[in-house]
Amino acid sequence: MSDHGAAERPKVSGINHVTFDVANVEASVEFYRDVLGCELVARWPAGAYLTAGRTWIALVRRGQPPSPATDYSHIAFDVSREQFIGLSERIRASGARVWQENWTEGESLYFEDPTGHRLEIHCTDLVTRLRAVRKEPWEGLVIVDEL
């Protein structure tokens, strides 16, 4: 079957927002705003909206106790190399629990927010990651698309 004249296959175009169910809205707002440097955009008794660069973050309290993932699932935030050390120090000084040591290329800090959601700050990109993994490929790795 030819693709000539066919409509483009529908697909997502990016991340619209990330929502975290939080145990304590005030503590979470303070962490995301004062420790991570996110911008507070709106707040109400059961939640808040912040931005991290162009990413919209929703913090909400929904009634049931939140149950953050305890597996490898996490959200990684961009940070410049120039800002990495200072931000890492501020995160550690906040008392945030570090849940993993970095084992990949590039500077990373893996930590939890006040509710226990797993986060990371990372200062490289996918192109850099692929460049590094080509030098020492993981077993069975196939790079499908050149970026």
Residues classed as catalytic: 120
Which of 78, 80, 91, 65 minimizes the C-alpha distance to 15? 78
Distance CA 122, CA 145 (A): 22
Distance CA 48, CA 140 (A): 42
Can you give 89-101 as a three-state secondary structure string?
Answer: HHHHHCCCCEEEC
